[in-house]
């Protein structure tokens, strides 16, 4: 991979930590905004997109859920368009199949009306479907009513990342795999980053380290009062003969108090259908198997007061999610609310994802993006879903904040 040129003092203009979609989009935007700049991206794994970006639902969201005027709503709406444009330009396949949000109770019908208001305020087209029209469009789905969001699409974010990496390299950036950052030192005129045998001296450091973002911020000497808590998102996949069971993506109406969207039926770009994800406390930030445990990760959150407050505040949904994780029958019951024909034998194993959820000491689940900064470093400390959709405008925002070449 090409080596980024540094200036006469051996200082590279930008160092980016993290080869997930946020790090890659940021690196791409930095190089596009600063033609001729030097940039090194350090990724600890042997390939790109090995964590959240490579273990998600693959949905390009429209931004219907988010509070009007919030950064999350704005970035998602812009991201939906930017991701589709990027895919079109770089030959990455995507399908705009739309999303159907299905209400299965009177409470969900009321929440659905609130979502329509949000959609209007966010400038997103939605169609209201009654139960009959829902059945006509989605013969295998049952509900009291539904909202159809036509702009929602599906993509493989690993392919998006591969295309971004090609752009970065074509602009002279260097991507170093297998480079785990273990030390960061900031002085008045540069930041020194150590990753194995490699030392990068950079004008600016941008850290997009996902599940490790709080640790990287602390490594750089910043005071991070929040902590990343890993929430597993467990999926199943349907047998291939059921791939035609849905035409659009099928989502429940979400509980506005919770940051997760609920178990959905998702068409994947490879033609398969996944079911999930749920949201259960993980015992390892980067362990994908059901029984993965990282003693360090667990010890760190057990001593963090924010975790206990979250568990107490959301105890009802914590119990329900845990039941779904332990018992397939409980998981199936959730799916059957809107897809009654599903059987236990339809739920085949599929790899889990792990969300990096920032939690504050008072037990608040951080819903929006969270950045920490020092004069020469910027840390993305919370990039919640739909950050894969929003990555391109997030990269633009960070590239503007990070300043230019000196
Ligand atoms: C189950 C699940 C489903 C989701 N579904 C969707 C969806 O459908 N649509 C959507 O828009 N969003 C979705 N999201 C959210 C989205 O996937 C994430 O918000 C996004 O991928 C975050 O990207 P990232 O680059 O910040 O993090 P990551 O992809 O986790 O990348 C961080 C990178 O930093 C690297 N790193 C960490 N520490 C170091 C170190 N010390 N040295 C070097 N490198 C390091 C890691 O190895 C990793 O590659 C989902 C997330 C999950 C978990």
Task: For residue range 371-395, list pLDDT tens digits in order.
Answer: 999 999 999 999 989 999 999 999 9
pLDDT beyond 50 at 253: yes
Confidence (pLDDT) at 126: 96
Cα(113) to ligand 1 centroid in Å equals 32
Which band of pLDDT confidence, cut at 50, 70 and 90, is reported for residue 324? confident
- Are the C-beta atoms of 209 and 220 separated by less than 8 Å? no
Interval between CA 395 and ligand 1 midpoint (Å): 14
Q: Is the CB of 122 under 6 A from ligand 1?
A: no
Q: Say yes or no: CB of residue 381 within 6 Å of ligand 1.
A: no
Give the distance (Å) from ligand 1 centre to CA of residue 8.
35
Mean pLDDT over residues 349-354, rounded? 96
Residue 94, strand partner residues:
155
Q: What is the pLDDT of residues 194-207, one digit of tens each?
A: 999 999 999 999 99
Count the helices and strands in the chain (H runs, E runs): 11, 22
Stronger pLDDT, 262 or 309, i.e. the higher one: 309
Q: How far apart are CA 184 and CA 199, in angstroms?
A: 10
| Confidence grade of residue 260 (pLDDT, cut at 50, 70, 90) | confident
Ligand 1 centroid–CA 269 distance in Å is: 19
**pLDDT on residue 70:** 87
- d(Cα 136, Cα 133) in Å, to the nearest integer? 5
Residues 6+ apart with CB under 8 A from 211: 51, 52, 228, 230, 285, 286, 354, 356
CA of 54 to the centre of ligand 1 (A): 7
Residue 282 beta carbon below 6 angstroms from any ligand 1 atom: no
Sign of torsion over alpha carbons 153, 157, 159, 162: positive
Ligand 1, residue 266: give the atom nearest the CA: 8
Give the model's pLDDT for residue 32. 97
Q: What is the mean pLDDT of residues 353-358?
A: 96
Is the confidence at residue 149, as pLDDT, over 80? yes
The pLDDT value given to residue 5: 60
Report pTM.
Answer: 0.96
CA of 131 to the centre of ligand 1 (A): 37
Whole-number average pLDDT of the chain: 94
- Higher-confidence residue: 384 or 257? 384
Q: Which two tokens stand for residue 68?
A: 């009007």
The atom number, within ligand 1, closest to the CA of 388 reads 11
**pLDDT for position 266:** 96
- Using the predicted structure, report yes or no on whether residue 319 has a pLDDT greater than 80: yes
Closest among 382, 353, 336 to 59, alpha carbons compared: 353
Return the ∠ at Cα 358 (arms to 298 and 168), rounded to 5°.
105
Q: Is the CB of 219 under 6 A from ligand 1?
A: no
Q: What percentage of residues in the chain have a pLDDT greater than 90? A: 85
Whose alpha carbon is nearest atom 3 of ligand 1? Answer: 56
Using a 6 Å cutoff on CB, does residue 129 contact ligand 1? no
What are the contacts of 293-297 at 24+ separation with CB within 8 A? Answer: 297/230
| Closest-lying ligand 1 atom to the alpha carbon of residue 18 | 34
Distance CA 20, CA 22 (A): 6
Give how far Cα 283 sits from Cα of 230, 280, 384, Å: 7, 10, 19
pLDDT given for residue 1 in this prediction: 43
What distance in Å separates the CA atoms of residue 262 and residue 233, rounded to the nearest whole number?
10
Give the distance (Å) from ligand 1 centre to CA of residue 21.
Answer: 7
pLDDT band at 312 (very low <50, low <70, confident <90, very high): very high
User: How confident is the model at residue 67, as a pLDDT?
Assistant: 87
pLDDT (mean) for 219-226: 95
């Amino acid at each position: 991979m090409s080596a980024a040129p540094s200036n006469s003092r051996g200082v590279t203009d930008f160092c980016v930590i993290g080869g997930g979609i946020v790090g890659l989009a940021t690196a791409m935007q930095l190089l596009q905004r600063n033609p001729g700049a030097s940039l090194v991206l350090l990724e600890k794994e042997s390939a790109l997109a090995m964590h959240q970006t490579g273990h998600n639902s693959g949905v390009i969201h429209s931004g219907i859920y988010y509070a009007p005027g919030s950064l999350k709503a704005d970035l998602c709406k812009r991201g939906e368009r930017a991701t589709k444009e990027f895919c079109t330009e770089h030959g990455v396949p995507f399908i705009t199949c739309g999303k159907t949000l299905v209400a299965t109770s009177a409470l969900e019908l009321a929440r659905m009306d609130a979502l329509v208001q949000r959609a209007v305020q966010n400038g997103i087209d939605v169609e209201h479907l009654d139960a009959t029209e829902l059945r006509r469009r989605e013969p295998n789905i049952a509900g009291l009513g539904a909202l159809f969001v036509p702009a929602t699409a599906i993509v493989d974010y690993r392919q998006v990342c591969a295309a971004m990496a090609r752009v970065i390299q074509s602009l002279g950036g260097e991507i170093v795999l297998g480079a785990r950052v273990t030390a960061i030192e900031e002085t008045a005129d540069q930041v020194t980053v150590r990753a194995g045998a490699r030392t990068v001296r950079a004008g600016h450091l941008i850290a997009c380290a996902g599940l490790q973002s709080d640790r990287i911020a602390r490594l750089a000497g910043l005071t991070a009062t929040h902590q990343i808590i890993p929430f597993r998102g467990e999926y199943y996949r349907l047998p291939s003969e059921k791939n035609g069971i849905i035409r659009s993506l099928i989502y429940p109406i979400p509980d506005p108090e919770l940051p997760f969207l609920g178990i959905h039926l998702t068409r994947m770009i490879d033609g398969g259908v996944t079911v999930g994800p749920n949201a259960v406390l993980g015992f390892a930030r980067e362990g994908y198997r059901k029984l993965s445990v990282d003693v360090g990760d667990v010890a760190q959150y057990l001593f963090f007061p924010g975790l206990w407050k979250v568990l107490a505040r959301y105890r009802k949904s914590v119990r329900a999610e845990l039941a779904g994780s332990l018992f397939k029958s409980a998981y199936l019951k959730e799916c059957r609310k809107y897809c009654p024909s599903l059987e236990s034998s339809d739920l085949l194993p599929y790899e889990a994802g792990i969300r990096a959820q920032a939690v504050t000491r008072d037990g608040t689940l951080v819903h929006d993006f969270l950045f920490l900064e020092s004069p020469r470093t910027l840390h993305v400390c919370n990039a919640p879903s739909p950050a894969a959709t929003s990555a391109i405008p997030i990269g633009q925002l960070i590239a503007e904040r990070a300043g230019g070449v000196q």
